[in-house]
Chain A
Amino acid sequence: MNAFKPVLTEHIHQKDCHTLPFYKSVGGYKALEKVLAMQPDAVIQEVKESNLRGRGGAGFSTGVKWGFIPKDSDQPKYLINNADESEPGTFKDRLLMNKTPHQMLEGMIIASYAINCNTAFIYIRGEFYKEYQLLKKTLAEAYQANLLGQGIFGSDYNLEVVIHRGAGAYICGEETGLIESLEGKRGWPRIKPPFPAIEGYLHCPTVVNNVETLACLPHIINHGADWFKSIGSEKGPGPRLFCVSGTVNNPGVFEEPMGISLKELIFDRAGGIPENKQLKAVFPGGSSSAILTAEEALDVKMDFEDLVEKKSMLGSAGVIVMDETVDMVQACLNIARFYAHESCGQCTPCREGTAWLVKMLTRIVNGQGKPDDIDMLYEITDNIGGRIDFSKGSFGKTICPFGEAVAWPVRSFVEKFENEFRSYIQQVEAVA
C-alpha cells in the first residue's frame, strides 16, 4: 500500500498546476488524442472494463451508465459534470477543480466523445465562486488550444462546454434535481423511470458524472483498464480521494487506493485525534452514510463492499471523525437539521418527516424528551427512508435517495448511541 503513488493529485503541489502548459507538460491531453482515434464504443468498453464506479456517492458503474445512452436516437446527447459538491464533509471535487481543472476537463471531453455528445455542462456549486472563475479561464485556454470547439485536435469531433452555477441547494446534486435546475426549473428530483440516460436534460439522453469520476478517465485511457483494476479493491478499484475532517490533527484530502483501512486513514494520514482523545464515531462517506462506532471504524476497509457489510456506505468518501467529547444527540440533531433544511419538499415522507425529526430531537436536547421518543425515532426514520435491508437493496420511499440520506444516519445515531439518547430523556424523568 505504501508504494501507492497518487494519480489524480500527483501534481497538485506544484506551481501553476492548474494551467494548460503545466498540464500538457505532465502528459495532459495525451489520453484525449488517443481517444479521438478510437471508436466511441471502444472507449465505453475500456471504461466498463476498468470497473470505474461513480465517485459522487452512489457508486454506479460509469461504463454501464454510458452504455444506457441509446445509440439509435437522433436526439442530441448531453454530458453533465456534477460539480455541485454539497455533501457535508466532502471537499475533494473542489480540490480537483482548483488544482487540476484540465484533468477534469480532459475527462469530460473523453466522456462526451464516448457518448457522442456535442454539448457538455459543468454544473458547479454556487458557493464555489473562485473555482467558477478559474474554470472559465480553463475553458478559455482549452478553446484557444482547440481542445474544445470545432474539430478538436484536427478530428471531426466538436464539443462545447458550458458552465452553470447552482444556487445553493444540496438537492441539486441529485442528478435529476440537477437537470431540472439546469433547465431553469425548481430543483425537484424527477420520478424515474425515465432515467436521465433516456430522458434527461431537455428530454434528451443525458449522462451525469461526478468531477472525480471524470478526472479518472484520462488515466484509464493512458494506462489501460487493467492498470486501473490493479489499484485497490477488486470490486470497486482505482484511486480515491478521501476527505478527512472533524477531530483529527491533520484534516484534508488524501488520495489512496480503494480499500485503505479507515484506521490508517484517520491515525496515519490524518494524524490521529488531538490530545490523544478516544475515537467515538465516524461518518465514513459523508453525513448521509450511517455512522460507525469506534469499534466498527477501526475494523473497516474503505471500499464499497466492506462498508455495505457494516451497514453504511462509501458515499462521497467524506470521512467525518468524532472524538469522545462529541455529544451524539446534539450531533444527530445537527445532521437532521441540515437535511430538514435541504429537503426539497416534494415527497411527503421527506418533507414532513425530516421536520418532525428535528422538532423531536430539539425537544430531547432541550430536556423535554419522553421515553417513547426513542421508538418513535426508529419508526419515523423507517417511514422516511425505509428499513435498511442490504440483502434486498434499499427500501427507500421517496423519489430520490434523499429520504435514505437523512433516515439512515439519524437511525444509526439512535441505534448505536441509544444510551446517550436515553440519558437525555432520563434526566427529564429524574427532574420530574
Chain B
Amino acid sequence: MPLLKIDDLEIEVKNGTTVLEAALENGIDIPYYCYHPALEIVGSCRMCLVQVEGMPKLQVSCNTFVGEVPPERKVDGNFDMVVQTQNDLVIQERKNILEFLLLNHPLDCPVCDQAGECYLQDYSFKFGNAHSRFDEDKRVRPNEYLGSQIVINHNRCILCSRCTRFTREISGTSELFVDERGYSSKIAALEDRPLNNLLAGNVADICPVGALLSTDYVHKNRIWNLQKKSSVCQDCSVGCNIDAFYQKRKIFRLNPRENQDVNGYFMCDIGRYGFHRFEDLERVTRPLFKSNGIFSEISWDTAIEKIGDKFNGAEEKVAGVLSPFHTNETNFMLGRFIKGIIGTFPHIEDEEITYPSGFRISSDRSPNKRGMHDVCPSIVDDLASEINDKEIRVIYILDNEIDKEIDETWNKILTKMDFIVVQAYAMTRLAKSAHLILPGLAPFEREGTITNDQGRVQWLRSVLPNNGESRPDWEILNLLYKTGERFSDINELMKGMGEQFPSYSGMTFFKLGDQGLPLNGNLKT
C-alpha cells in the first residue's frame, strides 16, 4: 500500500485514494465545497488546494490520487507522496479563494437558515479575511423557486455545482443546470421541468451554503436552537438513516444520515416531510374507556383490569392485530401474548421507485413488515376471514398508518366485536372504534428495533419525549403479563426475543449502533 505523508502524519492508504479522502479519514481538515463523496469530482471550487512535493502548482486534493511509485521516485526514499495541508502557501491560497467567494456574497448570516452549519461561514471564520477589499457593486439577484419546495438564493450561491450533479447523477432527472456563463452563471431548473422529483430535498442538504433552501424549513428556526438525534426513517421498508432536528416536542427537520449499506447519503421527500402528518393529530395521552359511546379517562390499573376481565378464560377467542409500523419488540410482545390468532390489516402497496444511482423508495411504505413477520411467524394470511371462521369477539389492535388501516370489510368486523382494545397515540378512526384505548407512543417517540426489507436490523431511537401518561408500546403489552412473567426492561425483552428467534439473538442497541447490522447471524458476533 502506498505510504502517504500528510503534514506530520505518515499513513498507508489504499491505492487510488485521493489526498482529500485520506486527510478526512485521518482527522485532517481540508476545506472543500464542490467535492461530495457521492458525486463526480469536478475540482472547480479550488478550496481544497494543497501542496504536493515535486509539483510546481498547488493541487486540488479532491483529484490528487495517491498511488505506489517506483523506488527511485519515492520522496525521501520512503514516501509515495508528501503533502502539506497547513503551510503558509496553502493557508494563503484558502484566504484568496474565500475572498473571491465572498465578493458578491450578501453576508446575511443573521437571516440565513444555513448559519451555524455553513461551510462558507465556518471557513471564512477560520481562514478568511476580516475585511473585504471589494469596493465595487455586488451582483444582486432575486430568489427563485426551482421547484415547489426548493428555493434558491442566488446571491449566496458559490456555484459548486453539487446540486446540478445531484440531479444528473443521483436522481437522474437532470432538472438543474448552470445557466449563462462566467460571472453571470447561475443555477436554474429547466423551464418545462421544475425540480419536483422525490429526491429534490437532498439538494438543500448537499448545498454547502445557504443558497438552496427547503421551503419547509426556511425561517422556521435556527440550527443552534435545535437538538439532533440519529434515528431511522419509518416511511418505507428501506429504512433510510436520518438525523431528526427538534426543539422540545416539535420536529423541525429531518436530514439523511450516511449509511452505505442502506441509503448512502440521501433520503426521499416522502420520508423527509412525512413527520408533518403526526403534528396536528388529536393525541391520546391517557387510557380511555368508552361507555355509552363516550370516552372517559381511566387509570392504567383499571384499564389493565378491564382487559383481564375480558380476556381471562377466553384467551383462545382473542385476536391480535400486529402492525408493520411498530417495532420488533412491540410486535413480539403482542404476538406472544395472544393465544388466539394473530394477523394484520390488509397491506397497502404504493409505487416502487428506483433511481439510476440505485437509491430506492420501496412500494412497502411501512418500516417493519419484515421484522414483524420474523418475530411473529404464526401470522395468518387472511385475518378477516379467520376472525369470522373462529367467531372471534375480542380483538387487540396496534395502531397502524393513520386513517388508512380500516376498509369496509374491517369496519364490518369491528362493529361485530364485543370488545376492542386499540393501542394508539392519536384519536384516529381506528381508535374511535375502540372500547378501550391504551395510549402508546407516536412514531418519533418510539424506541426499539426495526428490520428493513433487506434484512438489516436498525435501532429506531426515540426523538421526542412521551406525552402525558402514554407509555412505550412494548411496556403496555408487558403490563398484560402476570407480574413474574414480565420483562424488566427492553434489553431483557430483546434477549427474550433472541432466545425464541435465533436470528435475532445477541442483539443489543449498543451492537446495532447508528448503522445497524444485517441478520444472518452477524448479530451474535
B184 touches A360 (CB 8 A): no
Q: A191-B63, A353-B100, A397-B49 are in contact. Are A169 and B181 (CB under 8 A)?
A: yes
A186-B177, A352-B100, A352-B183 known; A397+B44 contact, CB < 8 A: no
Pick from B96, B133, B183: contact of A354, CB under 8 Å: B183
Shortest beta-carbon distance, A382 to chain B, in Å? 8
CB contacts under 8 Å to A, within B175-191, are 177-178, 180-185
Distance in Å: Cβ of A89 to nearest Cβ of chain B:
21
Chain B residues with CB under 8 Å of A351's CB are 100, 159, 182-183, 185
Cross-chain contact B46 with A340 (CB below 8 angstroms): no
Q: Are B46 and A398 in contact (CB under 8 A)?
A: yes
B57 contacts A346, CB within 8 Å? no
Known: A348-B47, A354-B182. A392 touches B56 (CB 8 A): yes
Among B47, B65, B133, the residue within 8 A (CB) of A376 is B133
Which residues on A sit within 8 Å (CB–CB) of B136? 356, 359-360, 363
The answer for the CA separation of A351 and B41 in the assembled complex, in Å, is 19
Q: From B104, which residue of chain A is reached at the shortest CB distance? A: A352
A101 interface residue (CB < 8 Å to B): no
- Which of B56, B58, B104, B177 is packed against the most chain A CB atoms within 10 Å? B56
Min distance, Cβ A160 to any Cβ of chain B, angstroms: 29
Task: Report, as a range, how many residues of chain A touch the other chain.
Answer: 35 or more
Are the CB atoms of B181 and A345 closer together than 8 Å?
A: yes
* Interface residue A395 (Cβ < 8 Å from any Cβ of B): yes
Q: Which residues of A contact B96 (CB under 8 A)?
A: 349, 383
Given A352-B101, A363-B136, A347 and B182 contact (CB-CB distance below 8 Å): no
1/0 per position for A183-225, CB-CB distance to B under 8 A? Answer: 0001010010100000000000000000000000000000000
Residue ID in chain B nearest A392 by CB atoms: B56
Nearest neighbor of B43 in chain A, beta-carbon distance: A191
Report the 3 A-B pairs with minimum CB-CB distance, sorted nearest first: A345-B185, A355-B183, A343-B182
Q: A39 to B44: give the CA distance in the assembly, Å.
A: 41
Residues of chain B within 8 A (CB-CB) of A360 are 135-136
Taking the closest CB of chain B, its distance from the CB of A408, in whole angstroms, is 15
A184 to chain B, nearest CB (A): 13
Residue with the highest number of chain A CB atoms closer than 10 Å, among B65, B134, B182: B182
A346–B136 Cα distance when bound, in Å, is 22
Q: Verify A191–B159 contact, CB threshold 8 A.
A: no
Q: Any chain A CB within 8 A of the CB of B103?
A: yes
Q: Does A58 lie at the interface of the complex (its beta carbon under 8 Å from any beta carbon of B)?
A: no
Whether B42 contacts A394 by the Cβ 8 Å rule is no
Do B41 and A386 have beta carbons less than 8 Å apart?
Answer: no
* B387 interface contact, C-beta 8 A: no
Besides A188-B42, A352-B101, 6 new A-B residue pairs in contact (Cβ under 8 A), listed by A number = A186-B177, A191-B41, A345-B182, A350-B182, A356-B103, A393-B57
B60 in contact with A191 (CB, 8 Å): yes
Chain A residues near B (Cβ < 8 Å)? 169, 186, 188, 191, 193, 340-356, 359-360, 363, 370, 376, 383, 386, 392-399
CA distance A367 to B184 in the complex (A): 26
Task: Decide yes or no whether B309 CB sits under 8 A from chain A.
Answer: no
Q: A354 CA to B104 CA in the complex, in Å?
A: 13
From A341, A347, A352, A386, B44 is in contact (CB under 8 Å) with A347
Tell me the smallest distance from the CB of B44 to a CB of chain A, in Å: 4
Q: B378: shortest Cβ distance to chain A, in Å?
A: 55
Tell yes or no: B93 within 8 A of A by CB. yes
Whether A348 pairs with B45 at a CB distance below 8 angstroms is yes
Contacts A191-B63, A348-B100, A383-B99 given; does A396 touch B57 at CB 8 Å: yes
Supposing A352-B103, A356-B134, A356-B136 touch, asked if A191 and B183 sit within 8 A by C-beta, the answer is: no
A178 to chain B, nearest CB (A): 16
Is there a chain A Cβ closer than 8 Å to B137's Cβ? Answer: yes
Q: Select which of A345, A354, A393 is within 8 A of B178 by beta carbon.
A: A345
Q: List, in ascending order, chain B residues with CB within 8 A of A341's CB.
A: 181-182
Q: Closest Cβ of chain A: how far from B21's Cβ, in Å?
A: 16
Q: Mark B60-80, 1 if CB is under 8 A from A, else 0.
A: 100101000000000000000
Give per-residue flags for B92-109: 1 if the beta carbon is below 8 A from chain A beta carbons, else 0: 010011011101100000
Report the bound CA distance from A326 to B97 in whole Å. Answer: 34
A349 engages B46 (CB within 8 Å): yes
Contact indicator A397/B57 (Cβ below 8 Å): yes
CA distance A346 to B183 in the complex (A): 9
**Considering residues B46, B158, B161, B177, which has the most beta carbons from chain A within 10 angstroms of its beta carbon?**
B46
Sampled A-B contacts (5; CB under 8 Å): A341-B182, A344-B182, A345-B180, A347-B44, A399-B44
CB <8 Å contact, B97 and A395: no
- Shortest A369–chain B CB gap in Å is 10
CB contact between A348 and one of B63, B97, B133, B184 (< 8 Å): that residue: B97
Determine the distance from Cα of A346 to Cα of B63 in the docked complex, in whole angstroms: 16
Complex Cα gap A139–B134 (Å): 53
Complex CA gap A269/B177 in Å reads 49
Flag B365-403 by CB within 8 Å of A: 1 or 0 each. 000000000000000000000000000000000000000
Determine if A349 and B57 form an interchain contact, defined as CB atoms under 8 angstroms apart: no
Cα A340 to Cα B49 in complex, Å, equals: 23
Nearest CB on B from A131, distance (A): 24
Residues of chain A lying within 8 A (CB to CB) of residue B97: 348-349
Expressed in whole angstroms, the Cα–Cα distance for A174 and B324 within the complex equals 58
- Name the residue of chain A whose CB is nearest to the CB of B186: A345
From A384, which residue of chain B is reached at the shortest CB distance?
Answer: B100
Cross-chain contact A191 with B181 (CB below 8 angstroms): no
Inter-chain contact A394/B57, CB cutoff 8 Å: yes
Cα distance A398–B184 in the bound complex, in angstroms: 18
A169–B185 Cα distance when bound, in Å, is 14
Find the A residue at minimum CB distance from B101: A348
| A359 and B137 contact, Cβ closer than 8 Å, known pairs A186-B177, A347-B46 | yes
B183 touches A343 (CB 8 A): yes
Q: How far is the CB of A224 from chain B (nearest CB, A)?
A: 36
